[in-house]
Amino acid sequence: MSVPESGGEERRAAVPAGEPRGSVPTHPMISPHSEREARKGERPSFTSPVRAQAPPPTGPPVWDGPPPTGVPPVRPTIPDWARAVIDRVSIRWRLTITYGVLFFVAGMLLLFVIYMMVGWAINEAWPHVSLPDAPALYEQKFQEQWNLARVAAVYEARNALLSRSLMALAGVGILAVIIGYLVADRALKPIQQMTTTARKLSGTTLAHERIDLKGPNDELKELADTFDAMLTRLNVAFDTQRRFVANASHELRTPLTINRTVLEIALGDPEASGDLKALGRTLLEVNARNEQLIEGLLLLARSERELSVRKPVDMKDVAETAVDQLTSRAEEAGVTMTAELRNAATEGDPVLLERCVANLVENAIKHNLPESGRLWVRTGMVEGALVVQVANTGPHVPAYEVNSLFEPFRRLNADRVESARGAGLGLSIVRAVVRAHGGNVTAVPRDGGGLVVTVRLQAR
């Protein structure tokens, strides 16, 4: 194993006989496409081991096949475009726009009614004037001019009303939009209170944090009360889970510890027969297996809960500790470990993060070649994200089987009762720990056999 110092130097661990010493790669992370890059003529960063297992490449990943075929994109219609624009608008602005549009519609309707009523009022109030002593022709022309004056008065009054009313409507409309925004904010305030309370909730505050909305018994009050009742049920469920884990941690470990002690005493008895000692060793292995299974289940239950400890952590130190602890195991399995560790600071539970990296390394050692196996561990920052990557040689892993490996009790090419290589909880614990820290973990098959598992966490 090699652990680089801050200057990038490495110290080599024990290498199996006949294993060539390869150069240390300078690229930041491992790519799973090794054989393809080798076929392209690129020089790999690691020398090939005895069994001709392809090392990680130096170049970027390449496309695994021909481009995907599909129908050309359909041009969106105007209703689809309008619907997409509306979907991007927040509910606050939707309410504000709705209030403003309703005000403008009501104002325009009112303006139209007033516009019509002004004409009716002037027509009704227009005086009737006649010239009884004037000649008939003169009287006719006078009435025509008088009616024209009435029509002109109605026209001028309506135009004056319309121009001034539109200006007033525009000014009051702007005020209506502002008032509508404030009204929408007031209407959404209870929902904001629910959201704030939900964000503050955690496993420790769930017992006493409630919305407790005050107000009339309307739909929002009913929603808040329903949410409070749900929080109460969740608190009971979480408290039951915590007590179960605490009790199981004690009740399950105690009898197994007693069994191990009794078996060790029996094996140390010089008068015990060979058959009895063979049976004792078998039972001791079964007991150790059960202890490991229980520890894994309890750790998985703890990892799936919200973090109770958050401290500044450098993943370089965490990975270095995990690698040092498993060096002897890798040497026993004939696996050469190469570590390229760079500083990568984050916040979280150091114990869980160390268990996460240790599980990845342990899994890479277990599922490796029986001899001349290789394993690479790397930490660092890639494009602003904290990355921990573990790659190994080993048997071929079908791409469709990769995601199922993160499920509890799932092992490649093994059923649920096969236990030679573990209980199938290692990657499940890794995924639970990473999710608890707000990150994600992915795995891809490595060309030539093995896996490349990449963990991405939030940088501090």
In order along its 460 residues, the chain shows pLDDT tens digits of 444 444 443 433 444 444 444 444 434 455 544 444 444 444 444 343 444 455 555 544 444 444 445 545 567 788 888 788 777 888 888 888 888 888 888 888 988 898 888 888 888 888 887 777 778 788 788 888 888 888 888 888 888 888 888 888 888 888 888 988 888 888 888 888 888 887 777 655 676 778 888 878 888 888 888 888 888 888 888 778 777 766 776 777 788 888 888 888 888 888 888 888 888 888 888 787 777 667 766 766 665 566 667 889 999 999 999 899 899 889 988 999 999 999 989 988 888 888 889 889 988 998 898 888 999 999 998 877 899 999 999 888 888 888 888 876 666 655 444 444 555 677 888 888 888 888 889 999 988 888 899 999 988 7
**pLDDT at residue 28 in the model:** 46
Task: Give the model's pLDDT for residue 9.
Answer: 38
Q: Which residue has the tokens 């129908």?
A: 71
Residue matched to tokens 């702007």? 174
What does the pLDDT look like over 310-353, one tens digit per residue? 889 999 999 999 899 899 889 988 999 999 999 989 988 888 88
List residues bridging with 314 in a β-sheet: 345
Torsion angles phi and psi, residue 90, rounded to 5: -70, 160
pLDDT of residue 303: 58
The pLDDT, as a whole number, for residue 32 is: 47
Q: Quote the CA–CA distance of 23 and 390 in Å, as a whole number.
A: 18
Whole-number pLDDT of residue 308: 67
Q: Look at residue 410 in the predicted model and tell me its pLDDT.
A: 61
- Strand, helix or coil at 408? coil
- What DSSP line would sit under 154-168, residue for residue? HHHHHHHHHHHHHHH
Q: pTM for the whole thing?
A: 0.50
Which residues fall within 8 angstroms of residue 366, CB to CB, at 6 or more apart?
333, 421, 422
Distance (Å, whole) CA 356 – CA 406: 13
To which residue do tokens 């496409």 refer? 33
Phi and psi torsions of 13, nearest 5° = -95, -175
What is the predicted pLDDT for the residue at 357?
A: 92
DSSP type of residue 455: E
According to DSSP, the residues that pair with 441 across neighbouring strands are: 455
Report pLDDT digits (tens) over 59-78: 444 444 444 455 455 677 88
Tokens of 243: 């007590």
pLDDT on residue 389: 92
